[in-house]
Structure 1
Amino acid sequence: MAAFGHTFPFYAGAKPTFPIDTSLAVIITIFLTALVTFIVILPGIRGKMRLFWLLRVVTSLFIGAVVLAVNFSSEWSVGQISTNTTYKAFSSEWISADVGLQIGLGGVNITLTGTPVHQLNETISYNEELTWRLGEHYEEAYAKALEKGLPDPVLYLAEKFTPQSPCGLHYPYRQAGHYVSAMLWVAFLCWLLANVMLSMPALVYGGHMLLATGISQLLALLIFSTVTALSPPCPLRLGTAVLHTRHGPAFWITLTTGLLCVLLGLAMLVAHRMQPHRLKAFFNQSAEEDPLQLGPAEGGLLIPRYRSMAESPEPQDIALSEASSEVCCSEVCPREPDCAC
C-alpha cells in the first residue's frame, strides 16, 4: 500500500477497555460480598468476641482475595515511559505518548496513550494483551496483532516476547508464570484448609496451614525473582527513551501477604505452646475441648478402655429382704419345705 498507493496501512480504532481487569473485578466482588455478609451478622455476636470475630474474618478474606487475585494479575513486572516515537509503519511522523508494559503470569499487556490523546487526526489510546497461558499460543496472538495493524510501539514491545526474538524473554517468563501460578494455587488450597481447621477445635493444625500458605507465596516470589534476575538483558528502546521494568504491585502485595501469613502462623504456634487458653478464647472455643480425647458420644466407644485395679470399685454385700429370700427358695426348691437359701 505504501509502495503503490502512497497511503499508510489501515489502523482499526482503539477498542473500548474496561477500567479494571474483569477477572480481578469478579474476585474483588465475590470477596466484598462475603465481607458485607459477615458484617450484617456481626451485631448478633455479643461482647468483646465481636471485635475478635471481625478481625479474624477481615484478615482471612484479605489473604484469600490477595492469593487468588495476584494469580490473574498482569502487574508482576511493570514499566512506563513518556517518549517521542513513530506511530505508523512507513511514516516519518512522530507522536508524543506514554508507553506502558505490564508482565503477568499469563502474558504481557501493552498500553499506548497519546499526550494529548488526539494527534494526527486520530485518537491514540491502545490497550493490548497477548497471553501465553496453557492452551494459548503467543505467536498466534502476535500474528493477529500484525494483521490488525497496531501502532509501532505496541508491535515493537510485543515482538520482544516472541519465541523467535533474540532477546530470549519468552521462555523464562512463560516458565516462571506456570510455576508461580502453581505455587499460588497451592497457597490458596492451604488457605482453605486453614479456615476449615480454625473453625474446628484444631487450632494448631490451622496454624500449620497458615504457615504453609505464607511459605508457598514466598516460594512463588523466589521463583519469579530468580527468573527475572537471570533473564538476559534486553534494552527496550522506544524513540528517545529506554523502557526499564521493575517489580509491580502484584509482587509486593504478595510479599506482604506471605510475610503476614508466616508471622500469624508462627504466632499461633507459639500461643498454642505458651498460652493455649487465651488462643482458644480468641477463637471463641472452650478451653475444655480437646480433639485428641474422645468421649463416648464422640467415638470413644470405638477404643476399649480398661479400668485398673485402683479404679475398680470394691465389691459390696447387698442384703436381700425376707420376701426376696422366700421367692428365691420357692424358685430353687419348690418341693422341699426345709430348703434354705
Structure 2
Amino acid sequence: MAAFGHTFPFYAGPKPTFPMDTTLAVIIAIFLTSLIIFIIILPGIRGKMRLFWMLRVVTSLFIGTVILAANFSSEWSVGQVSTNMSYKAFSSEWISADVGLQIGLGGINITLTGTPVQQLNETINYNEEFTWHLGENYAEEYAEALEKGLPDPVLYLAEKFSPNSPCGLHGQYRLAGHYTSATLWVAFLCWLLANVMLSMPVLVYGSHMLLATGIFQLLGLFFFSMATSLTQPCPLRLGSAMLHTHRGPAFWITLTTGLLCVLLGLAMVVAHRMQPHRLKVLFSQSVGEHAVPEGNPEEGGFLSPRYRSTAESPEPQNIPLSEASSKAQCEEHPREPNCAL
C-alpha cells in the first residue's frame, strides 16, 4: 500500500454499480412484459368489456408487482445527509459528501457520493450492501469490508448494524425483516389464488382472497412498525451532522396497495350479496350456464318441488278425441255436455 503513496487503509476503487437494483429491475421487466402481451391481445375482446378487462389486468399486475418489489426492496427505511467528514481512518483529510442509508427487509445499503465526486485525487462514489438474510452472515461481510478498507463513513454505518453493536439495530431490523417478508409472501400467494378464482365461477371466494391479500400486507406493515420501535433510536453522527431515518417508499406503497386490496375485496363481497348476477356479467361469466334450479332453500333446495300458481299455469287446451274414445267417455260420463249433443 505504501508503494502507491496512499494513506492507510487503501481501497483499490469503487466497484461498478448498476443504476437500479437488479432484482427490482427483473421483477418490473417481467410484469411489464405480461402487460404488453395483454395489450397485444386486448383488441380481441369485444364490446364494452374491453375497458373493464384492461382495468382489471392493470390493477392485478400492479398489486403483484408491488408485493414482490417491496419484498426485495431496500427502501423500507431511508435517510440521507450532506456533511463534511473524514474519508479514511488514521487520516486528517476531510471530504464533502452525501451519505445515504437504505434499510430493507434483508439488509442495508450504504451510499457515499462526493460533492464533487472527484476529491483527494480519487473518485468518491461507493454503493455497498450488507445483508442478514437467512444463510447470510452479516459479521463476515463487515469483516470483509474492513479488510478491503472501505471509506470510514461506510464502515461507521455498517458497524452500527453489526450484531456486536450496543445499538441493537441488527436484531431489531433483522426480526422485522423476517416477519414482514413472510407475511408478504403469504400475501403474494393469496394474490395468485385470487386471480385464479376470479377467472372461475367462484367470485365470492376470489373476493375473499383479494381481501386476504390486503390484510396480510397490512399485517406485514404492522410487524415492521412494531419490531423497529422496540428499542430507542441509535444516533448516527457523521462529521458535523446527524443522519435520521424515516419510512421509505416501499413502506408507503405497500400501505397504499394493502388498502386498495381491502377496499376492492369488500366492494366485491357487498356486490355479491346485493347484485350477484351483475357481478357475474361484469366478469364475463354467463348467468344462464350456472343458474340454480328454482326451489325453496329452506325446504330442501334442489330436491323440493316448486308448485306453480294458477296464473303461471298454462291455459287448458281442447284436444279433439277420436270417435271411439268419445263414445267410451260418454258411456262413463253421460252428463257431459259433449255427450248431450
TM-score (norm 1): 0.84
The residue number in structure 2 matching 1:241 is: 241
The alignment status of 1:163 with 2:163, answered yes or no, reads yes
Aligned to 1:11: 11
Displacement after TM superposition at 1:307 (Å): 8.2
In structure 1, distance between residues paired with 2:277 and 2:50:
18
Q: Provide the rounded CA distance (Å) in 2 between the counterparts of 1:13 and 1:116.
A: 16
Instruction: Number of aligned residue pairs: give it.
Output: 299
Do the aligned partners of residues 284 and 151 (structure 1) sit closer, same or farther apart at CA in structure 2, a change above 3 Å counting?
same
Q: Deviations over 1:181-223 (max 9, x none)?
A: 0000000000000000000011100000000000000000001
Question: What letter matches 1:16 in structure 2?
Answer: P
Tell whether the 8 Å contact from 2:86 to 2:92 is kept in structure 1 after alignment: yes
1:209-248 equivalence runs, <5 A:
209-248=209-248
Deviation track 1:36-73 (CA, whole Å, cap 9, x = no partner) reads 00000000111100001101000000000101111000
Letter paired with 1:201 = P
> Mapping of 1:130-209 within 5 angstroms?
130-209=130-209
Asked whether the 8 Å contact 1:202–1:291 carries over to 2, the reply is no
Which runs of at least 4 in structure 1 moved beyond 6 Å after TM superposition? 305-311
Q: 1:282: Cα distance to partner?
A: 1.4
CA contact (8 A) 1:201 1:289 kept: no
The separation in 1 between residues aligned to 2:208 and 2:292, in whole angstroms, is 17
- Structure 2's unaligned 5+ residue stretches are 294-301, 309-341
Cα 1:291–1:233 shift into 2, 3 Å: farther
1:70 aligns with 2:70: yes
- Alpha carbons 2:81, 2:98 under 8 Å: kept: yes
Q: Report if aligned partners of 1:168, 1:232 keep a CA contact under 8 Å in 2.
A: no
**Residues 94 and 43 (structure 1), Cα distance of their counterparts in 2 relative to 1, 3 Å cut:** same
How far has the Cα of 1:308 moved from its partner?
Answer: 6.4
What's the offset of the Cα at 1:290? 3.6
Aligned residue for 2:38? Answer: 38
**Post-superposition offset of 1:106:** 0.3
The code of the aligned residue for 2:284 comes to N
Unmatched tracts of structure 1, length 5 or more: 294-304, 312-341
Map Cα deviations across residues 127-155 of structure 1 (whole Å, 9 max, x no partner): 00000000000001100100110000000
CA distance in 1, matches of 2:158, 2:136: 15
Identity %: 79
1: CA distance, partners of 2:61 / 2:113: 35
For residues 52-97 of structure 1, the C-alpha deviation after alignment (integer angstroms, 9 at most, x for no partner) is: 1101000000000101111000000000000000001110110000
SS of equivalent to 1:227: helix
Q: Name the CA distance, whole Å, in 2 between partners of 1:173 and 1:306.
A: 59
The 1:199–1:308 alpha-carbon spacing in structure 2 relative to 1, beyond 3 Å, is: closer
Q: What is residue 81 of structure 1 aligned with on the other side?
A: 81
Q: Give the direction of change, closer, same or farther, for the CA distance of 1:291–1:17 in structure 2 (3 Å limit).
A: farther
Distance 1:308 1:188 in 2: 45
Distance in structure 1 (CA, Å) of the matches to 2:7 and 2:243: 30
Shift in CA distance, 306/137, structure 1 to aligned 2, threshold 3 Å: same
Per-residue deviation at 1:291? 8.5
Native 8 Å contact 2:7 2:91 kept in 1 = no
Q: CA deviation at 1:288?
A: 2.8
Aligned equivalents of 2:84, 2:153: Cα separation in 1: 10
Change (3 A) 1:6 1:208: closer
Query: Does the Cα contact within 8 Å between 1:201 and 1:291 map onto a contact in 2?
Result: no
